[in-house]
């Protein structure tokens, strides 16, 4: 069994094009959707309107997976964050000093969701599935931090082909489809400063929802006697950290990451 963990971003969409062209041997792509209320709407739109029809025309199976509870109901990341009884925060919120906290979002809503599908379709520790991850040469350090689960063997097709992100964009454009936006949850604390400013300018409703989430998390932490946390590295509320007018020389190049190869690809 060979699958690609598809994130809806540039690198994994380049893998989709390469598979359609027969340049890599993968015919199944798995998109672990953390929730229609959590994924960035632009990513969901791209997958629905561009990636899914493209895959279908190429005879590639693109499956959309969701986290399912034992009772069969689904759970989104935003729902978990807003649960009144949630004591730990699954996303990498920033501490007062700007450092990211521990997170479980990638493991719970991406890796485990894909892993469950693989096991249900025959992957075992003795016969693991091959899982292709969309990490390009310019992000090779992320591959070094990506551990394999017992039922999978991880491959990096873009590294094998020595392709960089710019190459991926060119591959997508040459296939006649638009280059996708960077994929992430719209409230992810690993978003760059520039991405936050863009959200405030272009998606004020999403920015307001991000502010509301940060406030909800901190109300719950205050009730537990804990210090506040933030969605940016600036150690202050999002509405103050990202002013309406972007400052000159704002840091637009801050590296945004998520757990090696599962998000932002």
The predicted model scores a pTM of 0.90
Max CA distance (Å), the chain: 56
| Token pair listed for 218 | 């901190």
CATH of 2-241, one of 1.10.15.40, 3.40.50.620, 3.40.50.12280, 3.40.50.261: 3.40.50.620
Give 101-152 pLDDT, tens digit per residue. 888 999 999 999 999 999 999 999 999 999 999 999 998 888 866 667 889 9
Residue 57 has pLDDT above 70, yes or no: yes
Helices 10-20 & 165-174, crossing angle to 10 degrees? Answer: 50
Give 219-248 pLDDT, tens digit per residue. 999 998 999 999 999 999 999 999 987 654
Q: In what order do the strands lie in the sheet with 129-132?
A: 61-65, 28-32, 2-5, 129-132, 152-155
Q: Quick one: average pLDDT of 12-26?
A: 97
* List of E strands, the chain: 2-5, 28-32, 61-65, 129-132, 152-155
The CA distance from 254 to 98, in Å, is: 13
Exposed, middle or buried, 206 (CB in 10 Å: 0-12/13-18/19+)?
A: middle
């Amino acid at each position: 069994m060979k699958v690609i963990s598809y994130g809806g971003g540039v690198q994994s969409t380049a893998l989709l094009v390469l598979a359609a062209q027969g340049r890599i041997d993968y015919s199944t792509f798995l998109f672990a959707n953390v929730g229609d209320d959590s994924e960035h709407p632009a990513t969901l739109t791209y997958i629905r309107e561009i990636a899914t029809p493209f895959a279908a025309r190429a005879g590639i199976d693109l499956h959309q997976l969701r986290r399912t509870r034992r009772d069969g109901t689904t759970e989104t990341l935003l729902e978990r964050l807003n649960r009144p009884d949630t004591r730990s925060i699954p996303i990498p919120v920033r501490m007062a000093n700007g450092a990211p906290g521990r997170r479980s979002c990638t493991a719970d809503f991406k890796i485990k969701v894909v892993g469950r599908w693989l096991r249900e379709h025959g992957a075992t520790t003795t016969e693991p599935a091959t899982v292709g991850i969309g990490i390009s040469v310019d992000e090779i350090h992320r591959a070094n931090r990506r551990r394999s689960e017992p039922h999978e063997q991880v491959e990096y097709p873009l590294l094998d082909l020595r392709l960089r992100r710019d190459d991926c964009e060119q591959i997508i454009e040459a296939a006649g489809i638009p280059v996708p936006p960077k994929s992430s949850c719209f409230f992810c604390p690993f978003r760059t400063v520039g991405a936050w400013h863009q959200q405030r300018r272009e998606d004020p409703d999403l920015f307001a929802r991000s502010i509301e989430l940060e406030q909800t998390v901190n109300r719950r932490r205050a009730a537990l006697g804990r210090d506040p946390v933030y969605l940016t590295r600036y150690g202050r509320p999002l509405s103050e950290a990202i002013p309406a007018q972007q400052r000159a020389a704002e840091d637009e190049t801050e590296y945004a990451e998520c757990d090696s190869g599962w998000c932002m690809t």
